[in-house]
Amino acid sequence: MEKEATKMMNGGVESKSRKGLPDFLGSVNLKYVKLGYIYLLSLSHSICFFLPPLVLLFIFVSRFFPLLAYPLSIFLLLLVYHFLTPSSVFLLDFSCYRPPDHFKPGHKVNLRDGREEAAMVIFGAIDELLAATKINVKHIKILVLNCGVLNTTPSLSAMVINHYKLRHNTESYNLGGMGCGAGIIAIDLAKDLLNAHQGSYALVVSTEIVSFTWYSGNDVTLLPPNCSFRMGAAAIMLSSRRIDRWRSKYQLMQLVRTHKGMDDTSYKSMELREDREGKQGLYVSRDVMEVARGALKANITTLGRLEPCFEHICVLASSKKVLDEIQKDLKLTEENMEASRRTLERFGNTSSSSTWYELAYLEHRAKIKRGDKVWQIGFGSGFKCNSVVWKALKDIDPPRHNNPWNL
């Protein structure tokens, strides 16, 4: 995060033009500049190519033809809106990024949008999982669903039970407010429940509903997450039935959870907050990288005594900067980071489901062989660092279906 050096005065930017230069800031209606800036954060690479000339055109017209500045700003925003809302954005092919309503001027986050997005990504992931495993939903004993921001009544886990008509004694858990590291926490809970209920199936669903992480205000400290968080979900079936070993892909070897919430800096490094206008957004502090580094070190210290060797690593694909720092700190190779970087490039930050997209990438590239160990690392607010280690029970052939990388 860059330090704010710009002075704020009456809700706008204090403009000081040098002698001989036009006062560009003073001649531009900052209301439309701010609105345009919010939209431009989410532009595709193709439209970004045209930004410099468009910006210069807008400044020129604002300075010398001020009466045309307003209609030009509307035209540019409509042009951006056209590029940002392709007709295929709602396809259930895991290449969707954000709901198109986010880019409509004046759109307000509402519960209906959140529920619709949740149903789309969650049911899509579960449908594909059930088709691949051929498991009858009536045999599912345990359901664990995690979603950080959207917590409704009835819960999202209850929504799943209602949609699939799971049995009345299903043990259902809905984890909320635990951030991007909650996916591994959900696995940990499901593991403990399977130990208590031998011979059972546990369905784990990890997602984040980005309709409720989108920030539509003007506080620059709350805007960065808009650039990274994207739609996504993953569904995982765990079994404690011995008979399922022959067809299982992986065996859970170790799981280590580290929580740094007792430290105030760590606790406040990521939080959902409101700006002066009451608009909600996700705040990420400048200290978050140091906080993550300390949590990771503590986690590895424990994990290292249990599992000294891994063939594959899936680091939560939160941002390029975070991946660069982790690669440098752990002295990882480009091959080690390949799955994380490709996932970030193609799908963005899908929060707690990110490490599953990365595992799917490794399967798609036929990189996982029998006996290989896969290390998944997740970070989340609080602050948490969680690790889980899986051992491949067989060579994993590239799936012909049910893999987002096939699309």
Single-letter amino acid code for the residue at 173:
Y
180 is catalytic: yes
Spatial separation of the C-alpha atoms in residues 112 and 231, rounded to whole Å? 16
Residue 297, classed as helix, strand or coil, is helix
> Which residue, chain included where needed, has tokens 């070190």?
297
Q: How far is CA 233 from CA 14, 277, 390, in A?
A: 44, 31, 20
Spatial separation of the C-alpha atoms in residues 317 and 340, rounded to whole Å? 5
Residues 6 or more apart whose CB falls under 8 angstroms from that of 215 comprise 222, 223, 225, 226, 279, 280, 281, 282
Single-letter amino acid code for the residue at 311:
E
Decide the pairing of beta strands 201-207 and 140-147. parallel
Catalytic hit among 96, 259, 336, 386: 259
Q: Helix-strand-coil percent breakdown of the chain, rounded to 5?
A: 45, 20, 35
312 is catalytic: yes
Catalytic hit among 96, 180, 314, 385: 180
Q: In the chain, what is the straight-line distance between the N-terminal and C-terminal CA atoms, in Å?
A: 35
Which residues are paired to 239 by β-bridges? 201
227 is catalytic: no
CB 109 within 8 A of CB 211: yes
> Is the Cα dihedral 309, 289, 224, 233 positive or negative?
positive
What are the φ and ψ backbone dihedral angles of 293, each rounded to 5 degrees? -60, -45
CB 171 within 8 A of CB 190: no
10 is catalytic: no
Residues 6 or more apart whose CB falls under 8 angstroms from that of 207 comprise 118, 121, 122, 125, 145, 146, 147, 232, 233, 234, 351, 352, 353
Tokens of residue 211, six digits: 């309709």
Catalytic hit among 174, 218, 226, 349: 349
∠ at Cα 155 (132, 351), nearest 5°?
60
The residues annotated with a catalytic role in the active site are 180, 259, 312, 349
